[in-house]
Amino acid sequence: MRILVLNAGSSSLKFKLYKMPQKDILAYGLIEKISEELADIHLFFAKSNYKKQKYIKDHQKALKIVEALFLEFGILKSFEELDGVGHRVVHGGEAFSEPTIIDDEVIKVIHQMIALAPLHNPSNLLGIEAMRALNPKTPQVAIFDTAFHQSMPKSAYLYALPKEWYERYGVRRYGFHGTSHFFVSRQLAKLSNRDLKDINAISLHLGNGASACAIEGGCSIDTSMGFTPLEGLVMGSRSGDIDSELIFYLERSTKLTFKQIEWDLNHASGLKGICSDNDMRTIQERISRGDKEAKLAFDIFIRRVVKYIGGYAMLFKSLDAIIFTGGIGENSALVREHITKHLGLLGVVLDKELNKISSSLPRVIHASNSSIELWVIPTDEEDVIAKESFRLLKNLVKE
């Protein structure tokens, strides 16, 4: 079976073509700056790569270009050869706790969730609707970021707010990055040769967006992102946890509107708000030159992560592992070192030499006398989407 995985952003389209169940990657790529003056097209296949710039009107035109490139380079004759398409969808609310074959009703619910994920769900729908328009007979699957966290107990997902807000308006903690936390927890079980049901772990997806997740026996029991991806850890440009009263203080006491405050919390806060940079690589380089603002941003980032680890550790009878993933978690030895040096109370001991090793492979970084395992496991959300799409579609499609 040939499964195309799509991750549509507001002006971008990531794609990866798999041959399943072998999990062979036939091609992958990215189209950026859709609807702008010049879009950037990147395609990688068979140790080759193709790059070009041209104007692309919308996501449907972008998909047509992907189909044409697949034909040009002999990857596929057309999208009619596809057995299925898997989509990353950020918000499924309480409606979806599992990957789901997309039909009119599913699309309707994704539309309804736009109010809860206005920055993400509209973009995700663009990819679904563009593929439907181009190739309506090909089955499509939605894999929801929120689905993994539907296992959280009420004590974790309910806010201490009037219960009518939840019952009437759906105000609760949903959690995000679920596909990533799902993947790395399963990889941990596989790599350590243990039954997933016997493992308690804290997964740290650290990147421009960042979240922590407490995972018990393969199930999410708590996570740092909440009603939206704004809650929780300090992120590249998102604030993470704040006193909600400050929003009303700012609206009353300044000329800022609620819309401006919302934009600032999502796009001008976090690391960027503190030191004007949201790239941890740049921040670390600035720290090496003695930049105090960069060091402050770094310290605030670390402190918030440590607080969540400490809190989540107390939810378990025992804690087996801490997993680092995401762009920062996988690649910043300095971040990992500064987080783990605060965890001595838990018996965590980092092997500094193992931590310094730069690799794209999963690896342990704990010392032999550490009470808790420390793992770096690169995330692969496309892998999850491809496998889950194949699992749902294999009985519908004739080989």
Which one-letter amino acid corresponds to residue 250? L
Instruction: Give the tokens for residue 398.
Output: 């004739």
Contact in structure between 199 and 181 (CB atoms under 8 Å):
no
Nearest residue to 277 (alpha-carbon basis) of 269, 388, 302 = 269
In the three-class reduction of DSSP (H, G, I as helix; E, B as strand; rest coil), residue 123 is classed as: helix
Instruction: Provide the Cα torsion 3, 7, 13, 15; round to 10°.
Output: -30
Q: Is 243 a catalytic residue?
A: no
* Residue of 145, 222, 277, 383 with catalytic role: 145
74-77's contacts with Cβ under 8 Å and 24+ in sequence apart are: 75/17, 75/26, 75/27, 75/45, 76/2, 76/17, 76/26
Q: For 159-169, b where at least 16 C-beta lie within 10 A, e where not — what string? A: eeeeeeeeeee
CA distance 131 to 207: 29
| Residues forming the active site | 145
